[in-house]
Amino acid sequence: MRTILIDVDTQYDFCHPSGALFVRGADHLHEAFQQLTARGVAVGAPIVGSVDSHGFDAWEFAGAPEVGPNGESPNFPPHCIKGTEGWLKIPGTLAPRFRFIPNVPLRDDQLIPLVTRHQPQQILLEKEVYSLFANPNADRLLDLVREGADEVRFLVYGVALDYCVRAAALGLVDYLRRHSVPGEVLLCVDATASVVPADGERALGECQGRGVQAISTREALASL
């Protein structure tokens, strides 16, 4: 079985108390994020991450000139604007050899070299909405990363549980079923935090109802 770490949005704006959209409690999770990253690098387990990447006029933002594709207007404060300090990943969550995958469709001859050339340890999918699968290259990327493995285990952590972590975990369950891949999705419950705790509890229950297994960071590290 191949274990693939799924690092969800461990960025300054979400994880630092001075961040623009700080998730309460995420500042106490940095050590867990760092330990998981370090162990993945040490044992050669691939790390696939997502990073919120916005322009200055993103429709998610309060006062945006446009609404979302389905009329959404969440009025979030401007956050994770690409190139700003808030967009950066927190220290210790970036592997020595990493690549970003832009939020535009790539052909195989463009994507495959990004995933394989010089053996990157971490691939980061840029996205503008909650799910890492909003990046049009996500499915193909996971196909490439798990290539040659009979079974796959996805180990999910990051923020926020009631938004992007939930979307990632459920998206990975759907990915396994959609591609008929034997495997499992594990969620590090002590390496995630929620915008609204009650919503996080509901999100966890929903994930477990879909087959996601809750584990601790200690158990996750021991499994690698």
Residue 71 lies in a domain: no
| Structure tokens, 101 | 């995958």
CATH of the domain at 39: 3.40.50.850
Residue 82 lies in a domain: no
Using CB atoms within 10 A of its CB, is residue 136 exposed (0-12), middle (13-18) or buried (19+)? middle
Residue 58 lies in a domain: no
Number of domain units in the chain: 1
Residue 14 belongs to domain spanning = 2-53+89-223
Residue 75 lies in a domain: no
Question: pLDDT tens digits, the chain, 224 residues: what are they?
Answer: 999 999 999 999 999 999 999 999 999 999 999 999 999 999 999 999 999 999 998 888 888 787 777 777 788 899 999 999 999 999 999 999 999 999 999 999 999 999 999 999 999 999 999 899 999 999 999 999 999 899 999 999 999 999 999 999 999 999 999 999 999 999 999 999 999 999 999 999 999 999 999 999 999 999 99
Residue 152 lies in a domain: yes
pTM: 0.96
- What tens digit of pLDDT does each residue of 132-167 get? 999 999 999 999 999 989 999 999 999 999 999 999
Task: Let me know: does 187 contact 201? Beta carbons within 8 Å.
Answer: no
Residue 157 lies in a domain: yes
Residue 64 lies in a domain: no
Which residue in 116, 93, 107, 164 sits closest to 136, CA to CA?
A: 107
Using CB atoms within 10 A of its CB, is residue 13 exposed (0-12), middle (13-18) or buried (19+)? buried
CA distance 89 to 139: 23
Residue 68 lies in a domain: no
